[in-house]
Structure 1
Amino acid sequence: MRALYPGSFDPLTLGHLDLIERGVRLFDGVTVAVLQNPGKQPCFPLERRLAQIRAATAHLQRVEVASFDGLTVTFAQRCGADVILRGLRALSDFEYELQIAHTNHSLAPRLETLFLATAVGYSFLSSSVVKEVARFGGDVSHMVPRGVAQDLQRLFNRASASTPHDV
């Protein structure tokens, strides 16, 4: 049985990585699928996000990293996934994720959605929080893989060098 773990991963957090590692223990393989969302302007270009995920999952067997656009269920069917893997950090995530799961099931009834509770130590993490902390010069090394932390530091040091800040 193969799982698809979709998301924007902008950036990949240790919470995401924890779900990938746990998914590998539960399934024969996990495809981490980075959504190309034309409606969003990501911090990192698609190719950089793919490279970050590949580097962070290099120690794992049976992980594939790919990108897609369009419907998640269409990509899941194309890559042979049986399950869509989603993480839940808090009760507030559940309502949105349940709505998406029901929609996906209405489009592709053979696909199941499996929710995994995020590990307690990562329950506060979101890509948005990580970007905000990094943007203002905070240490994100306990929030993201090392390579991602370095990329964020380079990105926001460059951005902060050209943007005046009120102190």
Structure 2
Amino acid sequence: MRRAIFPGTFDPFTIGHSSVVARALTFMDEIIIGIGINENKNTYFPIEKRVEMIQGFYRNEPRIKVYSYDCLTIDFAQQVDAQFIIRGIRTVKDFEYEETIADINRKLAGIETILLFTEPELTCISSTTVRELLQFGKDISQFIPKGMEI
């Protein structure tokens, strides 16, 4: 079974994230969306709410599971017996960062990282931007998956 984790803070989960998941499902048997607890980030939604929103969105997709974790991503991957890490990248800057992390993860744990380039029309969407819109009371419905309850 090919199992991958898709790690992130997902605050909030955007249409860019759902696009990566949908594309990864074409070559993975199971994807575990791992919501990392990052004390250095100021989040809008509590971790429990993020888990609930994403689980609700994927409630009819048995190949997707959603968990939170508070350890290194490679440790989480090993805990859930994942062989791969899925990451979406929007820019060259993202690529350079992800390449470094992927190299370290492979060296430490033998876990391969699969990078999926964001679809061109979604490159401007980031959780940071959507979170800022939320904080200022703006409608974010065009940036989150249809059917996701915020």
- Structure label with greater radius of gyration: 1
Unaligned runs of 5+ in 1: 152-167
For residues 65-109 of structure 1, what are the alpha-carbon distances to aligned partners after superposition, in whole Å with 9 as ceiling and x for unaligned? 011111111110110101000001111211111111111112112
Give structure 1 regions of 4+ aligned residues with deviation exceeding 3 angstroms. none
CA distance in structure 1 between the partners assigned to 2:36 and 2:21 by the alignment: 16
Higher helix share: 1
Q: Give the deviation of 1:121 after TM superposition.
A: 2.0
Counterpart amino acid of residue 134 in structure 1: L
CA distance in structure 2 between the partners assigned to 1:100 and 1:140 by the alignment: 30
CA distance in structure 2 between the partners assigned to 1:41 and 1:14 by the alignment: 21
Q: Give % identity.
A: 38
Contact 1:86 1:113 in 2 (8 A): yes
CA distance in structure 2 between the partners assigned to 1:59 and 1:120 by the alignment: 28
Counterpart amino acid of residue 67 in structure 2: A
CA distance in structure 2 between the partners assigned to 1:100 and 1:135 by the alignment: 30
Contact 1:8 1:35 in 2 (8 A): yes
Cα RMSD for the two superposed structures = 1.5
Counterpart in the other structure of 1:65: 66
Counterpart in the other structure of 2:136: 136
SS of the equivalent of 1:10 reads coil
Per the normalisation by structure 1, the TM-score is: 0.83
Contact 1:14 1:143 in 2 (8 A): yes
**Equivalenced residues, count:** 149
The question of 1:125 aligning with 2:125 is answered: yes
Where do residues 58-137 of structure 1 align in structure 2 (5 Å cutoff)?
58-109=59-110, 111-137=111-137
Which structure has the higher relative contact order (CA within 8 Å, separation 6+)? Answer: 2
Unaligned runs of 5+ in 2: none
Contact 1:6 1:85 in 2 (8 A): yes
Q: Give the deviation of 1:57 after TM superposition.
A: 1.7
